[in-house]
Structure 1
Amino acid sequence: MVTYYSDRSVQVTSDAIRVGEHAYPLKELARVWHQRGARSWRAFAGRGALGAAIIGPLVAAAIGVVIAFQVDASLTVTIAIVGASCLVGLAAGPVADFVLEHMDRSYARGDRTLEIWATWRGRPVLLLQTGDALRFGKIYRALQRALESSTVG
C-alpha cells in the first residue's frame, strides 16, 4: 500500500481515501470532482485590514507633516513634528514585513471553501470540505495520483 497524503484527519492511499471516521475504497469511486464554495468575507475583510495596517503608518506620517506646516509654531516645534512623523512613517518597513507575510499566508489558504466530491455506490458524497487552499490542492492531487495508479494496475 502506498500513502500519497496523510495528515491528522485525511489519508489518501493506493487503496482508499479516509476522511475522519469514513473510508472510501478507490475501486468504489466512480467519479471524483471538486467545487468551489462560497467566498469567505471574513478572509476578504482580513486582507483589507492587513492592507490598512501597511498603509496606516504612512498616512499618519503624511498627516503629521501636513499638520506641522499648518500649525503656527516655532521652527523647532515644526522640525520636531516633522521628525516624529518621519519616524512613524519609517515604522511602515518592519510592519510591512510582518503584514505581508500574513497576507501571503491568507492567499495560500484561499478565500473560498473548497470541496472534493465523489460518486460512491451510485450517489454523490462530499469527501472533504476545507477553506485551506494549499491543503486542498495537496489532497486533491494525491487523490488523482492514487486513482490513476489504481486504474493502471
Structure 2
Amino acid sequence: MSKHDKQTTLTLAQMNYINSNPLILLSTIEQETNFPNISAVSWVKCLEPKKLRFSVTKDSRIITNIRSNPNVTITFLGLGTVHSILGKATILEEKIPTINIPLAKVEINIVAVFDSMFWGARLTQEPYYEKTYDFVKANALDSQVYEALLT
C-alpha cells in the first residue's frame, strides 16, 4: 500500500506489534485549552483490525479530554516507520470492576491509519522502555489490565 492510499484498518503486522506492548503515544484535545495533549500509555491492546482498547486512571485528563472531544490519535514507532491511527474514543467503563486501582476502559473505533514518517527515511531502531517499579507487581497488574481490556 502506498503512502497515498487510505488505510482504514490495521494490518495483522500492526496488530501484532501493538499487542507486543511497544511505546505508544495517545493524542487527545485538551478540554480547557483546545490544544493537543500527548501522553505515553502502557495498557493498549488491539482487538480486531478496526478496534483498539486502552486503560488509564479514571481521573486522568485523558478521560476528561475524551468526554469533551472523542477524536484521538494513537502513534507508535515500529515496523520501520511511524504509524498514526485516527479514531473515535468511547469510555466503556468508568472503573474496571476487576481491578483494585481506579482504571477506566476506553475503546477506539479506527477511522484511518497513516504512515507518518517523513519522506525518504525509515526507522532503523525502535524505542525501548523499561518499567522502573516492582517487576512482580507490575507483571501481575499488567495481566489483570490486559485481561480486562480483552473482555
Shorter-chain TM-score: which interval?
Answer: under 0.3
TM-score, normalising length from structure 1? 0.19
Structure with greater strand percent:
2
Structure with greater helix percent:
1
Q: More relative contact order in 1 or in 2 (CA 8 Å, sep 6+)?
A: 1
| Higher gyration radius (CA) | 1
